[in-house]
Amino acid sequence: MRYVITGAGSGIGQAVATLASHTADSAGTGPVRLALLDRDAESVEAVAAELRGTGAECLPLVVDLGDPAAAGKAVEQAVSAFGGLDALVSNAGISSADALEDLSLDTYQRTFDVNTRATFLLARAAFPALRDSRGAIVATASISATHPTPPLGMYSASKAALKMMIQQMAVEWGRHGIRANCVSPGPTDTGLTRGSFGDARDAAARANRRYREAVSPMRKIARAQDIAEAVLFLAGPRAGHITGVDLPVDGGLSLTVMPLT
């Protein structure tokens, strides 16, 4: 399998890349090829170095996906290096902690540029290669795409737009054999959430974590690997007739309307 994975330097993207590298041999399809995109050079180089140890072929690409020219160029580099592409995992995302009344236009724009527009530009650049391979697109949305989540600025709106864009791709590109799906995580232990509930040294973060665990039907926060399993399922042949879905991976949190006790 040949993948482009964005946000591969950390959290869910790193977990997707790691899991993909370990599934290569059992599939018997030769070395897995991973184009690892991230704006953080140090982390993405480190992930690439580690995964080469599993036999995976890794191409780390340092790009700011907020730059409209960079996304397409990176996909073209990957397609040319691997001779094609089987799956685009558009996972990189950002959030802000701004109340709407304080949200700057720059933050508004940046949120949509990275969380929404980049997926369109990546997917459009990947389209010819995915049509040739009858490949798949998986985007990381969020339960915030369907449940407004204050105070995260335009995060929820950008993810809702992302989800509809993926469904539009599913409908328009299905006739070319391309599948397009979303995974929607609930609270997940990654760099993105370290400040709010991931830092065990911080009392407020610990209290926030306990609250999030208490309101979750499964009484726990996800690990990045939990999300990665779902992403790779949707990216691979076992999901060959699944397209246009938004798969919540949230321990049932999005089903609840009242905090549990």
Applying CB under 6 A, the span of 5-13, 23-31, 173-181, 209-217 interacting with ligand NAD comes to 5-13
Q: What angle do CA 160, 165, 36 make, to 5 degrees?
A: 95
Catalytic residue among 10, 155, 184, 216: 155
Query: For this structure, is 163 an active site residue?
Result: no
166 binds ligand NAD (CB under 6 A): no
39-45 contacts, C-beta under 8 A, 24 or more apart: 39/63, 39/64, 39/65, 39/92, 40/9, 40/10, 42/9, 43/9, 43/10, 43/14, 44/8, 44/9
Number of other CB atoms surrounding residue 110 within 10 Å: 17
158 binds ligand NAD (CB under 6 A): no
Applying CB under 6 A, the span of 11-19, 203-211, 238-246, 253-261 interacting with ligand NAD comes to 11-19
Nearest residue (CB) to ligand NAD, 114 versus 170: 114
Number of other CB atoms surrounding residue 181 within 10 Å: 26
CA pair distance 50, 29, nearest whole angstrom: 21
Catalytic residue among 21, 144, 159, 254: 159
DSSP-derived secondary structure for 85-113:
-SEEEE---------GGG--HHHHHHHHI
CA pair distance 94, 40, nearest whole angstrom: 13
18 binds ligand NAD (CB under 6 A): no
Per CB under 6 A, the list member of 191, 199, 215, 242 interacting with ligand NAD is: 191
Q: How far is the CB of 80 from ligand NAD (least distance, A)?
A: 20
Q: What angle do CA 122, 50, 123 make, to 5 degrees?
A: 5
205 binds ligand NAD (CB under 6 A): no
Applying CB under 6 A, the span of 97-105, 146-154, 182-190, 201-209 interacting with ligand NAD comes to 182-190
Query: For this structure, is 142 an active site residue?
Result: yes
Catalytic residue among 10, 21, 90, 142: 142
Nearest to 76, CA basis, from 112, 115, 118, 124:
124
Task: Give, as ranges, the residues between 24 and 43 that touch ligand NAD (CB under 6 A).
Answer: 38-40, 43
Query: For this structure, is 3 an active site residue?
Result: no
Could you give the residue numbers annotated as active site? Answer: 142, 155, 159
Q: Binding residues for ligand NAD, per CB under 6 A?
A: 7, 9-13, 38-40, 43, 63-66, 91-94, 114, 140, 142, 185, 187-188, 190-193
